[in-house]
Amino acid sequence: MSRDTPRPAPAKEVVALFHDASYEDVPELVERYHDDSRAQVQKALATLMRRHERERAERDRVEAMYALQGELSGNGLALGVDEVGRGAIAGPLTVCAVALPDEPIIWGLNDSKQLTPTKREELAMQIADNALAIGIAHIEPASIDAVGMGVAVRMGMAQAIENAGIDPDAVLIDGNPVHVHPREKTLVKGDARIACIAAASIVAKVTRDAMMVSYAREYPDYHWDACKGYGSKEHIQAIREKGLTPLHRVSFCGNFVETPSLF
């Protein structure tokens, strides 16, 4: 090596560079180091390229969610709607409606059930920062008992759509037809296929989970901070031992308790 030829960066520094590289940085790094003869660098480069391929597939998935959103809305303003808590035995049914801009894309959007709690929290903050509109509605247990879940879902969706405060070109809903809006379009597994529905599912889940954690401080024996009001073993045992609270759906709890609310 001549005196004028710059010495290559130590392999450890190159490996650290790969580790911290953004998605956009990877092609340039591959070009720069693909001829580097050091085994440590080549091993790290192969790992970087595999990571980039996974990230590219993930971005393709999310871009497809935005593309389908645009297709179903005629590239107009789409309002995605989804609910959480349908199968719980305590706590509200929570419905959310979200409209997203085409840019910036929120990478990682998915059906909330496919995400970790930490990832849901991160995405919910991004959605709040970037959404064009968000509407949230809660249908309380007494109302669910009074009208049944089917009517409660329609009530919640209608309220969430109204609370979003916009006039959408399409209302996109996960699942089967609900007949809640004249521009409604439904898609089975839409929360994993359409960006704005995924966003609605995430915000609804994060919002309701936070409510149930708060309620758990008032009724600590029922383990709502862990089960979020669903029928866990500990939750059901607490019902049998202590009875129902005002936050239980009485019509959902007939198999667990024979007495009315003790609160």
- Mean of pLDDT values over 91-104: 97
**Residues sharing a CB contact under 8 Å with residue 117, sequence separation 6 or more, in sequence order:** 209
Neighbours of 1 (CB within 10 A): 7
Q: How many domains does the chain have?
A: 3
Mean pLDDT of 241-247: 94
Give me the long-range contacts of 38-47 (CB less than 8 A, separation at least 24).
Answer: 38/11, 38/14, 40/11, 40/12, 40/15, 41/11, 41/14, 41/15, 44/14, 44/15, 44/18, 44/19, 45/18, 47/18
Reported as a single tens digit per residue, the pLDDT across 184-202 is: 999 999 999 999 999 999 9
pLDDT category, 255, cuts 50, 70, 90? confident
- CATH number for the domain that contains residue 199: 3.30.420.10
Q: Which range of residues forms the domain containing residue 45?
A: 11-70
Q: Are residues 163 and 242 in the same domain?
A: no
- Mean pLDDT confidence for 110-121: 95
pLDDT per position as a tens digit, 132-151: 999 999 999 999 999 999 99
Whole-angstrom distance, CA of residue 73 vs CA of residue 2: 63
Asked if residue 150 and residue 41 are part of one domain, the reply reads no
User: Which two three-digit tokens encode residue 185?
Assistant: 């379009």
* Cis bond before residue 260 (omega within 30° of 0): no
In this structure, is residue 263 part of a structural domain? no
What is the SS3 assignment for 136?
strand
